[in-house]
Chain A
Amino acid sequence: MGNITSRFPNLITIPKLLWLLAGIVILIIPPISTTATITMVSRIMIFAVYAMAYDILRGYIGIIHLGFALFIGGGTYFVAILFANVGISIPILLLAIVGTTIYSIIWALIVGKIAAKSGLLATAMITMAFAEIMRNMMERWRTVTNGLDGLTFRVPAPFDNRTFMYYACFVFLLLMAFALYKFTTSPTGRVWQAVRENEQRAVFLGYDTNRARTIALLVSGVVAGLAGVMFALLNRFANTDVLAMQMTYNAMLYSLVGGSGSLFGSIIGSAVVVLFQNFLLDLRGVHFIFERWLIFFGSLYILVVIFMPKGIMGFVETIRERWKHKKGGKIYES
């Protein structure tokens, strides 16, 4: 009774304090950390955007896109090919952004057409084939892409500065999270959920579900493409790994661990997975068994799926529900 949180319920709450804390931590990382840490957190922020874009499809409208690497890979290669073969400047970067956007729109429209004609599974398989075709093309087009060995390139100032890049990634994450949040709470975003839940009913409410799907594919494709541009700027390197199946699995992993159908979950998921990967990699120095770190990583993934089927966000939600009930029970007793 009479504590601060109950007297000013809307001024200071635990979530707000956590947000504030997270904001402060993110802002003070660059001055106090090593370059490796700065780069790693930057990568987490880019992957978070990539995972959120994936979750629009998987968690909101219910499309399984097994070729999602098409988008992040496309963005990365646009930057890489232009920087390595044409020139290094901000206008070229803008050109890469425009190119990535157009490229993502074209892929989104193609996949939209396919999803409208065939079912969920066929779409999943066909999209996987698309990504493999693109990966193969980039591998064979050696004169421009240098194949599997990849392209190394320099980036224009100020993006060559790690600290600047870090804040750029942070702003990028904030902008994309805000935009996607806006979209998911718009009338269209609600139709996405209706399509995921029961497409036939959505049709008989009068919704053009194919159109809803195409809009989702466009939004998610363009956002993931832009994440690819940032990824290239951060890594200054591109090879066919960005177009490989593993890249699509990453998006699935991040959004599933964080909690499907929750944008914030995708951010948390990316952070947890990347941090844990790094942690396991560091353990290699402790004992040679950690050379096989993927075993531990896979085991953890299985545990998450078994014990937190709805991901971290789902788990937090369950705990909060339980806590609420407990609190309610106490009031009842007294």
Chain B
Amino acid sequence: MLGDVILRTENLSIQFGALKAVNDISISIEKKKFTTVLGPNGAGKTTFFNLISGLYKPTSGKVYFKDQDITAYSPQKRIHAGMGRSFQLTNVFPDLLARENVRLAVQSAARIGFKLFKSYKGYNRINEETDRLLKDMLLEDKADVKAGDLTHGEQRKLEMAMVLAQNPEILLLDEPTAGMSVEEVPVMIELLQRIKDKGDTTIVLIEHKMNMVKALSDTLIIMVHGEFLCEGDPESVSQNPEVMAAYLGGGAINVSA
């Protein structure tokens, strides 16, 4: 059982002043499974991701990735160990072409390092991989548009291409459909389904709309007020009275109190 766990947190906590944004969370993510972290706005989901991906250092607790304590690792080291993450707010290089955004991600994954004397265009393998990813993401006609000039949905897709370029073993996706139009959401869902069906990547998704991810997820983890509430398969979790209270009751019924 333990061998199947790819990512584990142990009493992970972070405190900003008096606010315990993430409080004492211990979870295990199984390899090659689709896990969704659900919770109302302000539940600490993104902060939890920031702790896992190394943007924040935890106040206490540990993060284990592939049975290795990575709590002290820099974000870069975690990326090269096989993590990939996307951001809730669109996070691209706005003044660079869409193609260059993806190419930079592929270049990092290829670890060609800090070469100074060769033209960046001279790496065929990287260029081919870039074209493949853009095509996969249906962005081939937009390749020569500045990333900042793309529509919001296209930018989200571009971000996905950048994360996938790193060939991560675990994908940390922070609300990939946030701010997408109704027509664009199914495209993203289908893409997630495709990655899942391929079956070689562990996916951890943050969402706050339960209906969207019920069909996709193997496991749901519910967070409320920075704390772990419950975990299980989508059916049983959505029947859980505490979860229903947290979702339906909102602030009126405080489950953690």
Which A residues fall within an 8 A CB radius of B? 182-183, 185-191, 193-194, 197-198, 200-208, 211-212, 215, 219
Contact = CB atoms under 8 A, between A and B. Distances in A.
Interface residues of B, number: 34
A193 B85 CA distance: 21
Nearest to B105: A205
A198 B94 contact: yes
A193 B95 CA distance: 9
Contact of A201 (B91, B95, B118, B166): B91
Q: Identify whether the interface residues of A are mostly helix, strand, loop, or mixed.
A: helix
24 contacts: A182-B116, A183-B116, A185-B121, A186-B115, A186-B117, A186-B119, A187-B120, A187-B123, A190-B103, A190-B104, A190-B120, A193-B100, A197-B96, A198-B91, A201-B87, A202-B104, A204-B75, A204-B85, A205-B105, A206-B80, A206-B109, A206-B166, A211-B114, A212-B114
Given A194-B104, A205-B104, A215 B114 contact: yes
Given A185-B120, A197-B93, A203 B76 contact: yes
Interface of B: 53, 55, 75-76, 79-80, 85, 87, 91-96, 100, 103-105, 107-109, 112-121, 123, 162, 166
B108 to A, nearest CB: 4
A128 B103 CA distance: 36
A325 B232 CA distance: 58
Contacts of B162: 201, 205
A315 B245 CA distance: 60
A330 to B, nearest CB: 23
Contacts of A203: 75-76
B53 A204 contact: yes
Select the residue from A182, A200, A205, A211 with max chain B CB neighbours within 10 A.
A205
A182 to B, nearest CB: 6
A197 B148 CA distance: 11
Contact of B116 (A188, A201, A208, A211): A188
A198 B79 contact: no
Contact of A194 (B79, B93, B109, B112): B93
Contacts of A193: 93, 95-96, 100
Contacts of B93: 193-194, 197-198, 201
B120 A186 contact: yes
Given A187-B112, A207-B108, A208-B76, A201 B92 contact: yes
Contacts of A188: 114-116
Contacts of A206: 76, 79-80, 108-109, 166
A197 B166 CA distance: 20
B79 A215 contact: no
Contacts of B113: 187
B79 A189 contact: no
A233 B105 CA distance: 45
A65 B112 CA distance: 29
Nearest to B76: A206
Select the residue from A189, A191, A201 with max chain B CB neighbours within 10 A.
A201
Contacts of B118: 186-187
Contacts of B117: 182, 186
Top 5 nearest A-B pairs by Cβ distance?
A206-B79, A197-B93, A206-B108, A205-B108, A188-B114
